[in-house]
Amino acid sequence: MTAVLARIGDYLRALSGWRLLLASILAGAFYALGFAPLEIFPAMLLGLAALVLLLDGAAARPRPIRWAAAIGWGFGFGQFVTGMHWIFYPFLVDPIAHAWLIPFVATLFPGGLALFTALASAAAMYVWRDGWPRILILAACYAACEWLRGHVLTGLPWNLPAYGWGASLAILESTALYGAYGLSLLTVLFGFSLAELFGRRPRLSLPFAAAALFAALWIGGTIRLATTPQTFVAGVQLRLVQPDIPQDEKYVRRLVRRNWQRLIALSTGPGSPNVIVWPEAAPPVLLQRSPEALEQIAALTDSHRTLITGNQREEIASNGDRRFFNSLYVFASGGVLAGTYDKFHLVPFGEYLPAESLFIRLGITKLVGFPGSFSSGDGPHTMQIPGAPPASPLICYEILFPSAVVAGSEPRPGWLLNITDDSWFGPWAGPRQHLLAARVRAIEEGLPLVRAANTGISAVIDSQGRTVAELGLNRMGSLDSRLPAALPATPYARFGDLLFFVLLVLGAALPLAHSRK
């Protein structure tokens, strides 16, 4: 086995030219198999090890930093074009308007995200040293650039390395301590350390230490899950409505009444919920302009019920200017409007166009078929919910962002409320990846998650990421459940990414100090 691994290592280190770039793309694609829905975490770790071996070869060539940037870009391109292949699906909802953009999206989207892995690889190569120092340096650079990916230009922290552990809830429990970025740092360190096994004289100490660390994380998470019983909030009975309306049928004029009646029928079935949750943009009409819809909401909430729904909101300024928001409404008993929340983290090109006038001249419009760009809210917020504890509402992909799902200046909520329409993310991988990220937010914050999705996956998840109830993908129905209780604030909820930054500094400082010595 040692000889076989050594030959593989020699082969990867010796690659050059287009074969080297192709190998980096394939390594990134192999790495992406660790994410949902496949969740093959050994593939993720081996893909990371391959990246180190390719960079080892670049270190022995002229202009190693340029080679490292190319290798890193190829790895990132393979990762994102494989792991986020669903990104093409939104452009097929209205193919006449948007399908022509698919070839550009197929290259520019993964290619743009791959610049972060190119930066990480080039920065690591700048101080590359043989042996274990290169592993720590690369892990620190890679994790730092993943953090940047989640923040630069509004950020897109989709498929962070931490989510490669979706098959192991016990390991995900550790995000309550240092968050998804902290687990991502340790994950890439583990994967990179495996490169030490692919030499003629394998070095076992670092891979063994990394494996022991993750064994400890698994044991600790297993104990945490076994010793923390599920508890529920007294007097709260939820009903999540999943209408399963395809995106291209939602606003078709002849189907509007059918779509609305489906929401009402699913909300009024057998059972006695006191809080009903509809998904993002569930009503096929603008509620502010539909007295008939508001009358039916008043009837639905008449028996001391609360209805929470997504809908667009219109705001007219004193000068007559109109602004639209992607919003969440809370209707108390009798249809009384108890509060609204406006989405603050909007999707570029989906809900608004940056440099709007320029792109419109180029024939590019936003994906959501609504006039103009949405305006952003000022969230997050803690919102009062009649009949239930206060909640932190989050619309669609707002749930992706670690340490940005709860308002730090407001009272701590009792639960996370995520309404979404994952039909935009395709019928397979995208919704499952989105759900996993939401599940990690519940663990990080120690708060239960209630998630209503148009086409699924709707779910109630407790404060440790355990699924209490779930309604699967592409199914129409309603899901009744009790509301799990919140845990005391976790270390991550109190300190955010502080421990991640401490680990990041240590990961960079130790090999540099060793090099000087």
Rounded to whole angstroms, how far apart are CA atoms 456 and 39?
A: 19
Tallying the residues shown for the chain, one arrives at 517
Q: List, in sequence order, every beta strand (DSSP E) within 441-505.
A: 449-453, 458-461, 467-471, 477-484
Q: How much is the CA Rg of the chain, to the nearest whole Å?
A: 24
State how far the alpha carbon of 249 is from the alpha carbons of 240, 260, 262, 290, in Å: 21, 12, 13, 19
CA 168 to chain centre: 17
Residue 45's nearest CA partner among 219, 206, 187 is 187
Cα angle value 103/109/114 (rounded, 5°)? 130
Question: Quick one: which H or E segment has residue 448?
Answer: none
If you write DSSP's letter for every residue of 201-250 in order, what string do you get?
S---HHHHHHHHHHHHHHHHHHHHHHHS---EEEEEEEEEEE----GGGT
Q: Find the angle CA(328)-CA(330)-CA(332) to the nearest 5 degrees.
A: 170
The DSSP call for residue 352 is B
Angle of CA points 206, 210, 214, to nearest 5°? 170
Identify each DSSP E strand in 252-381 by its residue range.
275-277, 306-316, 322-331, 337-342
* Torsion angles phi and psi, residue 54, rounded to 5: -65, -40
Asked if 250 and 461 touch (Cβ cutoff 8 Å), the reply is no
What is the rounded distance in angstroms from the CA atom of residue 431 to the CA atom of residue 436?
Answer: 9
- Going from the C-alpha of 153 to that of each of 41, 303, 446, the distances in angstroms are 29, 46, 28
Distance CA 343, CA 432 (A): 22
The one-letter code for the residue type at 380 is P
Nearest to 294 by CA among 240, 344, 255, 331: 331
Biggest CA–CA distance in the chain, Å, is: 76
Cβ distance 420 to 280 under 8 Å? Answer: yes
Lookup: tokens for 288: 């502010």
| CA dist., res. 63 & res. 254, Å (int) | 63
Give catalytic residue positions.
Answer: 280, 343, 396
Q: Omega before 380 cis (within 30°)?
A: yes
Q: Cβ atoms within 10 A of the Cβ of 421, count?
A: 22
